[in-house]
Amino acid sequence: MKFAEGKKNAVILYLLQKIEQDDKSISKAVSEAFSINQNTVHTYINELVDNSIIERKKRGQYRLVKKEYEYDLRRSNGDLDTDTYAYDNCMFPHIKGYAPNIDAIWSYSFSEMINNVVDHSNAENLKIIIEQDYLNTTAIIADDGIGIFKKIKEHFGYSTLDEAICELFKGKLTTDSANHSGEGIFFSSKLMDDFFIVSDGKIFTNNKYDNSMIVSLIESTTKGTCVIMSLSNHTHKSPRDVFDLYADVDGGFTKTRIPLKNIFDSMPVSRSQAKRVCNRLERFEEVILDFEDVEWMGQGFAHQLFVVFANQHPEIQMIPVNMNEDVTKMHTHVIKSI
């Protein structure tokens, strides 16, 4: 049975996603999802094998064919004089031909991360690894310079690396305000499907992860900074979609979102932790505090955020989201105590 090109592409994409998920009943799952017989599914599987998009692991099991490209750049060779050299030679050849929105996302995010290496890291060497299969493209950017969290900590005089990481979640943070807006990491982390920065044994990410992933990432970075970012080759999102979520009608960067679970090693309980969150929030008009996976917050933490800071800055909207029952009770408790 022949399908219209659109439906065939949808079947193949779903089939590949099931393979990526290591589904043990691929043919059955695809057959049921699209109401097609399993022989048709097997025909598509054979085509994907013939085209080197997937390969057989064993009977009935497959994996995506992944290609890897590695580049070594040196400052002394002039490779780090600008961010355009790395993008033009290391990134663009692998996304050429993709949809314009994908090129726009990679152009912005990759160039911003390279710019950080060029202008802030004092690195001599930069390794870039591009990993790619039919579904996703991943860029790994590792330098041997001063770690990004250490650089921020020392520049602003923060007492810990955790404080530096907390500030990155908010955006508008730069050690060179004359030449940089401080928005690159913030927006790149929102544009990408997966985004990690690893340095000095610490990790910055907006994504969920398990402990084994953290250990693996940290162990792979002994010096400098390593950025890992991944994007679907078929995404429909665009930079404008993301920028508009955090901008006002005039295009200003007025909103920020803080995932609290990624900042604290334990549950947020103290006023000092809240004060860390509140630092520099006066630069924004709307602050979304994401409590996803936060099981509990202390009275001091809640009071400092939603009473003390809120009263000091009535012009700023403090919007808590994803609160469970216990967190909601504490939020309600401090609000009612006003």
- 59-103 pLDDT, tens digit each: 878 999 999 999 999 999 999 988 789 999 999 999 999 999 999
Helices marked H in the chain: 5-20, 26-34, 38-50, 83-86, 92-95, 100-120, 148-156, 161-170, 184-191, 211-219, 239-245, 271-278, 299-303, 310-312, 325-336
- Comparing CA positions, the residue from 123, 116, 233, 274 lying closest to residue 186 is 116
Domain shared by 110 and 202, yes or no:
yes
Whether 194 maps to a domain, the answer reads: yes
Q: What percentage of the chain exceeds 70 in pLDDT?
A: 86
Whether 158 maps to a domain, the answer reads: yes
Domain shared by 98 and 23, yes or no:
no
What does DSSP assign to residue 76?
Answer: G
Domain shared by 71 and 59, yes or no:
no
Report how far residue 10's alpha carbon sits from residue 32's, in angstroms, rounded to the nearest whole number: 14
Domain shared by 181 and 303, yes or no:
no
Q: Which of the residue ranges 1-5, 110-114, 198-202, 265-269 has the most confident prediction, judged by mean pLDDT?
A: 110-114
pLDDT of residue 103: 93
Q: What is the rounded average pLDDT of the residues 272-298?
A: 86
Whether 115 maps to a domain, the answer reads: yes
Tens digit of each residue's pLDDT (9 = 90 or more) over 256-278: 888 887 777 667 888 888 888 88
203, β-bridge pairs = 198
Which are the contacts of 126, defined by CB distance < 8 A and separation ≥ 6? 72, 73, 74, 75, 79, 80, 86, 114, 117, 141, 142, 143, 144
Whether 249 maps to a domain, the answer reads: no
pLDDT of residue 216: 57
pLDDT of residue 178: 46
Whether 48 maps to a domain, the answer reads: yes
Domain shared by 22 and 87, yes or no:
no
Whether 248 maps to a domain, the answer reads: no
pLDDT at 252 over 70: no
Q: What percentage of the chain exceeds 90 in pLDDT?
A: 36
Whether 247 maps to a domain, the answer reads: no
Domain shared by 180 and 293, yes or no:
no
Domain shared by 45 and 172, yes or no:
no
Whether 246 maps to a domain, the answer reads: no
Q: In Å, how far from its chain's centre is CA 32?
A: 33
Q: Which of the residue ranges 36-40, 184-188, 250-254 has the most confident prediction, judged by mean pLDDT?
A: 36-40
**Of the candidate ranges 18-27, 33-42, 62-71, 176-185, the one whose mean pLDDT is the lowest:** 176-185
Domain shared by 134 and 279, yes or no:
no
pLDDT at 180 over 50: no
pLDDT at 149 over 90: no
Tens digit of each residue's pLDDT (9 = 90 or more) over 106-131: 999 999 999 889 887 889 999 999 99
Domain count for the chain, please give it. Answer: 3
What's the predicted TM-score (pTM) here?
A: 0.75
Report how far residue 189's alpha carbon sits from residue 185's, in angstroms, rounded to the nearest whole number: 6
What does DSSP assign to residue 82?
Answer: -
pLDDT of residue 214: 52
* Domain's final residue, options 40, 64, 88: 64
Domain shared by 141 and 46, yes or no:
no
Q: What are the two backbone dihedrals, phi and then psi, of residue 107, each rounded to the nearest 5 degrees? A: -60, -45
* Domain's final residue, options 64, 91, 114: 64
Domain shared by 86 and 46, yes or no:
no
Residue 299, exposed/middle/buried by CB under 10 A (0-12, 13-18, 19+)? middle
pLDDT band at 249 (very low <50, low <70, confident <90, very high): very low
Range of 320's domain? Answer: 254-336
pLDDT of residue 11: 86
Domain shared by 265 and 331, yes or no:
yes
pLDDT band at 247 (very low <50, low <70, confident <90, very high): low
Domain shared by 56 and 133, yes or no:
no
Which are the contacts of 214, defined by CB distance < 8 A and separation ≥ 6? 203
CATH code of the domain containing 183: 3.30.565.10
pLDDT of residue 182: 56
Tens digit of each residue's pLDDT (9 = 90 or more) over 45-68: 999 999 999 999 888 789 999 999
CATH code of the domain containing 58: 1.10.10
Q: Which of the residue ranges 168-172, 216-220, 267-271, 286-290 has the most confident prediction, judged by mean pLDDT?
A: 286-290
Q: Which two tokens stand for residue 135?
A: 């579904």
